[in-house]
Amino acid sequence: MNQENLLIYLVSDSIGETAEQVAKAAISQFVFQDYEIRRFPFINEKQQIMEMLEEAKQGRSVVVFTMVVQELKDYLIEETARLNIPSIDIMSPVIAGFGGVLGAVPKREPGLIRKLDEKYFKKVEAIEFAVKYDDGKDPRGLKKADIVLIGISRTSKTPLSMYLAHKNLKVANVPLVPEVTPPKELYDVPSKKIIGLTTNPMKLIEIRQERLKALGLKSEANYASIERILEELEYADNIMKRLGCPVIDVSTKAVEESASIILEILREIGYKLTNGK
């Protein structure tokens, strides 16, 4: 490498993406012949810093860092000064600025933005799972699910699945219909991971009649008849008893309330919720 070329050492106690993006954006503002970037992520010991600086002091170098752990940051600043290596602290001025505005003390924890990104992608994955395994579309998803909702038509299976997906839970749901045998995979799911949904028959008549109207069908269709609804509820109740799963009556509950009960059931069985609640 030509002696005039610049070595940019990117040092971080996390992945180091911020340091690289800022360094590249800044150096693009200069007419510059050549430079090389060397990235040192996940620095968590002073020895790692010293080894990097031993290399950096051999050439024309600058250290660009995004260290948030105070002890390591102070050590890096001290050693670059001692070795006469220029250093640029990217994070501290921004953190100090926000600290002044918010009147709060920073966590000084590496990788928080990456953790937020991971949480976002887990939520997207859970939502995609809920869509893929909604309404019993693919019984293979039952074993992969964090929780399985079962119940007759119009017992809020899909809305609950989507709501819980936003809590990073992978939810599958299965409709229970007297004429259709439940998938055999349902009986391989631990009963504590299955939630049965039931409802008041008179409330269900109203809901189904409104559904028929929305579809432009006659409200007196068998789908909304009391005889049919009682038959479906009895059939579903027998399956839920056979499975030995918890059952929630959703007739007077909002989706949020039913979801809260489900989350509490999961806590009781020791399921670790990924959204931290």
* Residue 59 marked ligand-binding: no
* pTM of the entire predicted model: 0.60
List the CATH code of the domain at 116-268: 3.40.50
* Residue 141 marked ligand-binding: no
Q: Rounded to an integer, what is the distance from CA 1 to the centroid of its chain?
A: 45
Euclidean distance between CA atoms 228 and 231, whole angstroms:
5
For 202, half-sphere exposure in the C-beta direction (CA atoms, 13 angstrom radius) is 1
* Residue 153 marked ligand-binding: yes
* Residue 154 marked ligand-binding: yes
* Residue 158 marked ligand-binding: yes
Which pLDDT does position 139 carry in this prediction?
Answer: 94
Shared fold status for 6-110 and 116-268: yes
Q: Where are the domains of the chain?
A: 6-110, 116-268
pLDDT tens-digit series, residues 34-91:
888 998 988 889 999 999 999 999 989 999 998 888 899 899 999 999 999 999 998 8
Fold (CATH) for 6-110 = Rossmann fold (3.40.50)
Residue 275 scores a pLDDT above 50: no
For 26, half-sphere exposure in the C-beta direction (CA atoms, 13 angstrom radius) is 11
pLDDT tens-digit series, residues 106-160:
666 655 555 556 777 788 889 999 999 999 989 999 999 999 999 999 999 999 9
* Residue 157 marked ligand-binding: yes
* Residue 18 marked ligand-binding: no
* Residue 66 marked ligand-binding: no
